[in-house]
Amino acid sequence: MTSSRSAAPPGPDGMPILGNTREYVQDPLAFFENLAREYGPVAEYVLGGEQFVQVSDPALVRRVLVDDNDSFVKGERFMDTLKPVLGDGLLTSEGETWRTQRHTVEPSFYPEMLESYATEMTDVTERALAEWTPGERRDVHEDMMSLTVEIAAQALFDVDIRAQEEAIGDALEAVMDRAASSIRRPVDVPLWVPTPGNRRFNAALDDLHAVAERIIDQHERGGGDAGDVVSLLLAADEDLPRERIRDEVVTILLAGHETTALALTYALHLLSENPEKREKLQAELDDVLGGRTPTVSDLDELTYTEQVVEETMRIYPPVYDIIREADEDVEMAGYRIPEGRTVSFQQWVLHRDPRFYDDPERFRPERWTDELREELPPFAYFPFGGGPRRCIGDRFAMLEARLVLATICQDWNVESTVENLGFRPSITLRPDGPVEMVPERR
């Protein structure tokens, strides 16, 4: 709770009505960094007439996500952006509905199930790499998106999604385009208004729902493994409405591949920019694998591979920003946060904080020693969020990222043609255009 005498957090002056919108639109990532640097761990900013509070201290992030998580909800702004797409899936449901759904699908992410997915992950990767031509320019972000959605569908739904990849990709683009423009905009054009963007969004959503319905139909006809997500939902103790199952399929299809695809894209780009790090990675792969396909049993020895993934998600966190809404008046570091206020905190800011990382903008996988992991305060590094709402697929994503990266880099050098990697932040840290790279066989 707050004291009536608590002050409002400090923050930058802004223009009437627009507040700090111009600076935010010009470069959201730089805006968040400057806000933390100039105004401290709790700062207030205004976009389009609406007030936000940024938190940039690990202990305060922990308080929002863990200690006082009951006082903070995903909130109206988050729901307005994602609920039209994800319905009542895991990302958007709250309370008992969320707890029940998470409990239902959790068995698909148990360690013994994760191990069974490894072969599918490497098989799909090797099939994709068979289509690469040495010296040919490729949009590797697009390649990784196709690869990871196929893995998610095969592993978690036990279906071959290749025929529907285009529909899923188009839907994701439409969702992210809408989110990029609306997540911090106080007034959004209702989806029933027939603007070009809304028409594209609604058509893509219809296609995505059709893909999900076909997946459910296949399982109802007896397809699928008893342990996959759809089978678990269909066999749930409570009779789940079909729309709820469809929402879960859509949630996992979109959330289950986008972030890993970004991590892999950025890892390949960073390795291209730092060839000495790539050589060190490949020396480990040669030593441990000796030319064979990586397996789960190899991962304990692929320590540098894991460090590359960790460092990539530190520098370019696929989920770069989290928002919550205060469900009651709270006091934070002596400042008043009123009920209904949107609170934001950025992995982008904390993962690059020089208090915790020396030379933070430098790609240095070797920094990820056991000592660093032990010394880092909780939430100085949180690529998968934290608390009760921590990403349910975090172990799946780490398994996938390591196996796919090892499979690619064992046989290929991928040279990026992008000189200055730029971003168009949406729900995730998306690149602002194609990430073209040229693969060459080792």
Structural domain contains residue 346:
yes
Structural domain contains residue 347:
yes
Maximum distance among all Cα pairs of the chain, rounded to whole angstroms: 66
Structural domain contains residue 22:
yes
- Decide: residue 383, CB within 10 A, 0-12 exposed, 13-18 middle, 19+ buried: buried
Range with the largest mean pLDDT of 45-59, 78-92, 104-118: 45-59
Number of domains into which the chain is organized: 1
Q: What is the pLDDT of residue 11?
A: 95
Structural domain contains residue 235:
no
In this prediction, residues 419-437 reach a mean pLDDT of: 92
At 315-342, the pLDDT tens digits run: 999 999 999 999 999 999 999 999 999 9
Q: Mean pLDDT lowest for which of 43-57, 141-155, 206-220, 351-365?
A: 206-220
Instruction: Look at residue 174 and tell me whether its pLDDT is greater than 80.
Output: no
Give the Cβ contact number of residue 181 at 10 Å. 14
Higher per-residue confidence, 224 vs 377: 377
Structural domain contains residue 42:
yes
Length of the chain: 442
Instruction: Look at residue 1 and tell me whether its pLDDT is greater than 70.
Output: no
Rounded distance, CA 62 to CA 221, Å? 45
Rounded distance, CA 183 to CA 424, Å? 13
Q: What is the pLDDT of residue 325?
A: 93
Q: What is the pLDDT of residue 218?
A: 87
SS (H, E, C) 33-98: HHHHHHHCCEEEEEECCEEEEEECCHHHHHHHHHHCHHHEECHHHHHHHHHHHHCCCCCCCCHHHH
- Decide: residue 376, CB within 10 A, 0-12 exposed, 13-18 middle, 19+ buried: middle
Q: What is the DSSP letter of 420?
A: S
Rounded distance, CA 89 to CA 246, Å? 8
The mean pLDDT value of the chain amounts to 89
In this prediction, residues 244-268 reach a mean pLDDT of: 90
Q: What is the pLDDT of residue 314?
A: 98
Q: What is the pLDDT of residue 438?
A: 98
Q: What is the pLDDT of residue 184?
A: 57
Instruction: Look at residue 190 and tell me whether its pLDDT is greater than 80.
Output: no
Q: What is the DSSP letter of 429?
A: E
Structural domain contains residue 58:
yes
The pTM for the full model equals: 0.93
**CATH number for 54:** 1.10.630.10
Q: How confident is the model at residue 412 (pLDDT cuts 50, 70, 90)?
A: very high
Structural domain contains residue 117:
no
Q: How confident is the model at residue 236 (pLDDT cuts 50, 70, 90)?
A: confident
| Distance between first and last Cα of the chain | 60
In this prediction, residues 266-278 reach a mean pLDDT of: 98
Q: Mean pLDDT lowest for which of 42-51, 57-66, 360-369, 378-387?
A: 42-51
At 128-140, the pLDDT tens digits run: 999 999 999 999 9
Q: How confident is the model at residue 48 (pLDDT cuts 50, 70, 90)?
A: confident
- Segments forming the whole domain that contains residue 355: 1-86+320-382
With a CB cutoff of 8 Å and minimum separation 6, the contacts of 172 are 145, 254, 258
At 198-229, the pLDDT tens digits run: 788 788 888 888 888 988 988 888 765 667 88
134 residue type, one letter: P
Task: Please provide the DSSP assignment of 171-213 as one string.
Answer: HHHHHHHHHHHHTT-SS---TTS--HHHHHHHHHHHHHHHHHH
Structural domain contains residue 353:
yes
Instruction: Look at residue 363 and tell me whether its pLDDT is greater than 60.
Output: yes
How far from 258 is each of 90, 318, 429, CA to CA, in Å? 16, 8, 10
